[in-house]
Amino acid sequence: MPLVAYPDAALTIWQGKDALQFIDGLSTNKMVDMMKGQLVQTVFTSSQAKIIDFVTVFHMGEVLAVQCHQSKLQNLLNHVLPRILGQDVTITDVTERNQFAVEYEVKNEHVGTFISVNNVTYGRTESNLNIVIASKENTLQHSGTIAEFDAWRIENLVPWNNHEITIKNHPLAAGLSKFVHPAKGCYIGQEILARMVSRGRQGKNLVRCKNSEVDDKLITTRGEIYSLGIVRAIQ
């Protein structure tokens, strides 16, 4: 299975008895039922329902490891820190201690769980995709290129950070619908997303399209013949 570097990834540790509830109250997916050994992906959204960051939460037992993105980390912290108030939540940035990669074309049976072997953690986020987080002391042998990974993403309609997952898009348009829980209650941006779903009007969709058939500026990940693009949905 190809393993490619994930250079924009960041890792934060969220501690405290209120940490899980805190993330649940500010993001799109239902987190409160998580158990140790599970992972859940969720989106922090702005009041306009635009993506602040798409994160993967690893329930480590005592702490939550939240894989986020370096390019979005400051915005994420600006969003969450003022809202901690008196709650028991402490956030630590441990990005510098770790290295990150993505393993794709895998065959996962236990999606939504992770395993750690010799300080290398494999987060089974999809049936065919792992997020790999390793201590800096380990050596990760990369066996693929970003271009090859992008080609695989186009083929499998997989959105990615800084391509489809940007502050310009809301989670439904960016192909992250399955991480927007339909019945979890309120969070910032929820009213807008709920309205889009209930009215069947999400505006834009992530699609795989032929380069010759779509406007260049709509392409988010360019391939040789096919690309990913976020285009206005046909109502």
Partner 1 sequence: MDCGTCETSSPVQLMTPEVVNVNLSISNKAQEMLSDAFGDDRSMALLVGVLSGGCSGYMYDLQIVEETDQSCQEITVDGFKVLVPNASSHLLDGIEIDYVDRLMGGGFKINNPNAESSCGCGESFS
State the residues that interact with partner 1 by CB under 8 A: 11-13, 15, 22, 24-26, 47, 58, 60, 62-63, 65, 77, 80-87, 90-94, 97-98, 116, 119-121, 133-137, 186-188, 190-191
Number of Cα atoms under 13 Å in the Cβ half of residue 48: 7
What is the distance between the alpha carbons of residues 106 and 83, in angstroms, rounded to a whole number?
38
Q: How far is the CB of 38 from partner 1 (least distance, A)?
A: 15
Shortest distance, position 200 Cβ to partner 1, whole Å: 21
Show contacts of 216-220: CB within 8 Å, 24+ apart: 220/159, 220/163, 220/164
E-strand ranges in 2-96 read 3-5, 9-15, 39-45, 51-59, 63-69, 90-93
Q: Between 81 and 157, name the residue whose CB sits nearer to partner 1.
A: 81
Minimum distance from residue 214 beta carbon to partner 1 (Å) = 35
Q: Compute the distance between CA of residue 1 and CA of residue 129 in angstroms, rounded to an integer.
A: 10
Q: Are the CB atoms for 74 and 194 separated by under 8 Å?
A: no
Nearer to partner 1, 97 or 210 (CB): 97
State CA 43 to chain mean position distance: 7
Nearer to partner 1, 116 or 211 (CB): 116
Give min distance, CB of 101 to partner 1, in A.
12
d(CA 132, CA 117): 11
Nearest to partner 1 of 118, 212 (CB atom): 118
Indicate the residue among 26 and 230 with the shorter CB distance to partner 1.
Answer: 26
Shortest Å, Cβ 42 to partner 1:
13
